[in-house]
A and B are shown apart, each in its own frame.
Chain A
Amino acid sequence: MGAQILSLFPAANFSLIAVILALPLLGAFVNGVWGKRLGNDAVRVMALSAVGGSFLASVVTFIALASHVDAHIEGDHHEHVKLAWTAWQWMHTKAGFTGGNIPIDVRFSVDALSGVMMLVVTGIGFLIHLYSTAYMAEDPGFARFFAYMNLFIFAMLTLILADNLPVLFVGWEGVGLCSYLLIGFWYEKMPNAAAGKKAFIANRVGDFGLICGMFLLASYTGALDWTGIANGIGSLKDTTQDAYLIHVWPVGGGQYQGIFSFLQPHNPLTITAATAVGLALLLGCTGKSAQIPLYVWLPDAMAGPTPVSALIHAATMVTAGVYLICRLSFVFTLSPFVMMLIASVGAATALFAATIALVQNDIKKVLAYSTISQLGFMFLGVGVGAFTAGFFHVFTHAFFKACLFLCAGSVIHAMHARVHDDERAQDMRYMGALRKHMPITYWSFFASTLAIAGCPLTSGFFSKDEILYRSWVDHSVNPFADVLTRQKLEMFVPPQWLGPALYVVGVLAATLTAFYMFRALFMTFWGDEFRGWTIGRPSLVAAHASDDHDHHHDDLSVPGAAPKESPWQMTVPLIILATCAVVAGLIFNAGPINIPALHSMDHWLEPVFEPVARTVRLSEGAEGLTWPLAGGGILAFIIGTGVAYWMYIMEAGRPAEALADAAPGLYRLLLDKWRIDELYDATIIAAVDALADTSAAFDQTIVDGIVAKVPALLVSLFGSILRAFQTGVVHVYAAFMVIGLAFFGWFFVFPHPAATVTAVGKDTGDYIVTAAPGMGYQYRWDADGNGQFDSERTSDQMSVKVHLDEGKTQNVRVEATSAFGFSNSAAIPITRAASVKPMQLGLN
């Protein structure tokens, strides 16, 4: 079948990609423009068919890609092949150091990496769309919601399928925009709108890094498309050329002198261009993928509808940073420093976010911090060079996190039917025992929790353990070792203890993950009693209270709907995603257990990461460590789950309360998310505010006070003078006309000679003097400056040529005679400067 598809669409012009991209865009357009008029049913059909059609086209494309890959296998090694389609030629730009012309086309391509992402985005995207048709059914913004969602799918596909950085950037910004629109979907509420803005601004900081990285890549490698960058990467390695070393301090490699000499460092700080590119791109990736220091937007992004959290802030958009690192893996691995930074940021984020998730009571907040933590794992994976493992975690995480969020949405949906309060409908303290009321949601949540906690044989186990294993055993080889040694430059070597340290942090984070996820599961679904009985609609509660006034009884429950299972549109996606969350690891596993009959993810992605394989090595004895290190992950699962079970089931939450009471400061700190938002408020935002206040004060006093007022005063002054002439009496106007006419008469009768001087050539001493023309003028010249006119008679000659020696001045005179016989003359002095000769000191 694949061969037939390829005969229809050749690999170099695979226009089926257009269908994948165009369908969601069409859906967004139709729903956005005519959605209100079409009605909810038509909107539903449009949105689902757009994403569903895109998914089918993706499947067909994937089959074609697989057959194309098979056709290019030679023995064990298979080439990096891709299906590409150029929409149109966009623009050209000049490369900095190579000087070449960089064509930027709107070009899309599918290879092993983007193929998997494409399936994930459209497949999970479809399920979430299906889920949303029920979840959002009552919302007045139904059509708007689906327009945004379809637009998001389009932007994400643009990001994934882009064949060069500028097109990727369009998608990158597109998902940022859709994220803003969807977080602030219920924009009538102030916090939601603020959360949307926060996400947008935090992302912009990252985007700045991405743009810088893009410019650096264009200027150093002379290309912006993936193949071109991969080919041009050779020049990044060439540190013999000074241009590829960047002198950070002192800036530009100069010397500080005089009073600034204290700024001169002992050891000048020089980095390779690869490190600069890597750092810039990393900033972009931390922004989009919610890593330290730019993660703050993601928890707030939970203000949007829950399917949005599932789609954007768990399964797809936030993985864009990891995707970009994988995509440009051959750039990142050029700099061991940046790789170490990625791994460290990832590990730190994984642990940091997990500690916050421990104490949160809002079910979506727990999941939000768990997303950040899991993204940290992905960064840890790609940072140690285990790109396949990191990407595999993107893949498995997409399933279980989408499922978890959709389950949370299902729970909130059920809670909302009873509670009618956004805050309390998400608060796990009011839930409990929901497994009796909504079994499908419970079992899906349970399966996904097992996966995210790393229960052996579920998908999360394989991906997470592979990352942990590789974080211990991998070490990257500095590809610059030769040149750096030759140039006698200091080479960055990651410390020996880094690998084990990353492993320990990772295992710790995994333990916390197992704990907080099972805590959420137990608090929400387990227990004997539903704790939401005591709350209901405010009106009903009031009525109930007055009814019960006389006869007390122990049952505190108030009337109201019981939480019940969600409709099939919501449960079917849950079942599918939960199944995938459990079995995806077995099918596409990259872990210690391999099923060779199936394409393993490792093998499938091998050609994508082939250039990287040379720079990342396993340390000695890595094979023997496979099972001992996997043991750490399993232990993390057992401990985390066991402690959660003991705390929340066996002791019914009492140890947790005891702990919170024992260390109230720490508990508050964790509950307040380490008060990082407050820290940012106090430092960066306060600084920006201060700058804004200063600018505002400057604007009000200087700009509005002086710059604007003074000209306004002048204008009104002249206006009042001129207004005096505007008497409105015809006669006065006539008098002015006569005065004006008289002036013109005088001007024509009495000539006004003037002339301009033009030098001929550069310092030749020749000048041409040209008289200003006048009506009926005749001229006489005194070109030699002797005080006598050169001729008695006047003529039409308008210009004379004059030659001067150095340092001389000549008084050229011109006389103009008007047609009425009146004449007048003007003098034009011309000076030629003396040439500057070098001064000679005569000592003889």
Chain B
Amino acid sequence: MITSDNYVALSAILFGIGGVGFLVRRNVLVTLMSIEVMLNAVNLALVAFNRARPDNLTGQMFAFFLIAAEAAEVAVGLAIVLSLFRIKRTVRTDDADLLKN
């Protein structure tokens, strides 16, 4: 039987993959995707914990809010990526140093 622990473990693994990807990949798009993976790992954990406590639905509700937030984040993030590409003709994070000075 698949227990909550399995779900939480999967969530942790996904979060780790996302975190490492976020740190090591240089492509902005991939970075964004890594963030999505991390967020979805959190979503998974929320829903899994909620299953352990079925008397309230806070975890599931929270997950819905997170999905909405992710959608917004992606919309803004992609717009930023497009802007960056227009200015720099690149999507590599190493070249995204416009914040300095």
Contacts and interface: CB of A to CB of B under 8 A. Distances in A.
A746 B47 CA distance: 24
Contact of A738 (B22, B96, B101): B22
Main secondary structure of the interface of A (DSSP, over half): helix
A731 B26 contact: yes
B93 A728 contact: no
Interface string A721-759: 000001111110111001000000000000000000000
Nearest to A734: B22
A729 B94 contact: yes
Contacts of B22: 734, 738
Given A735-B23, A738-B19, A738-B22, A730 B100 contact: no
A731 B98 CA distance: 12
Contacts of A726: 99-100
Interface in B12-39: 19, 22-23, 26, 28, 31
B97 A729 contact: yes
A733 B97 CA distance: 11
Contacts of A729: 93-94, 96-97, 100
Nearest to B99: A728
A188 to B, nearest CB: 50
Interface in B57-101: 93-94, 96-101
Contacts of B28: 730
Contacts of A734: 22-23, 31, 93
B31 A728 contact: no
Contacts of B96: 729-731
B23 A728 contact: no
Nearest to B35: A734
Given A728-B100, A728-B101, A738 B93 contact: no
Among A726, A727, A728, A731, residue most surrounded by chain B Cβ atoms (within 10 Å)? A731
A730 B32 CA distance: 12
Nearest to A735: B23
Q: Give the interface size bracket for B toward A.
A: 10 to 19
A730 B93 contact: yes
Contacts of B23: 731, 734-735, 738
Contact of A731 (B19, B94, B100): B94
Contacts of B31: 734
Nearest to B93: A731
Nearest to B95: A729
Nearest to B96: A730
A109 B92 CA distance: 86
Interface string A455-499: 000000000000000000000000000000000000000000000
Interface in A592-618: none
A104 B31 CA distance: 74
B19 A728 contact: no
A730 B99 CA distance: 8
Nearest to A739: B23
Contacts of B99: 726, 728, 730, 733
A820 to B, nearest CB: 12
Contacts of A735: 23
A738 B101 CA distance: 24
B36 to A, nearest CB: 14
A727 B28 CA distance: 17
Nearest to B97: A728
B98 A728 contact: yes
A289 B7 CA distance: 96
A727 B97 contact: yes
Nearest to B20: A738
Nearest to B101: A728
Nearest to A731: B93
A734 B96 CA distance: 12
Nearest to A728: B100
Contacts of A738: 19, 22-23
Nearest to B34: A734
A727 B100 contact: yes
Interface of B: 19, 22-23, 26, 28, 31, 93-94, 96-101
Pick the 4 closest A-B CB pairs, nearest first.
A728-B100, A728-B97, A731-B93, A728-B99
Interface of A: 726-731, 733-735, 738
21 contacts: A726-B99, A727-B97, A727-B100, A728-B98, A728-B100, A729-B94, A729-B100, A730-B93, A730-B96, A730-B97, A730-B99, A731-B26, A731-B94, A731-B96, A733-B99, A734-B22, A734-B23, A734-B31, A734-B93, A735-B23, A738-B22
Given A730-B97, A734-B23, 12 more contacts: A726-B100, A727-B97, A728-B99, A729-B93, A729-B94, A729-B97, A729-B100, A730-B93, A730-B96, A731-B93, A731-B96, A734-B22
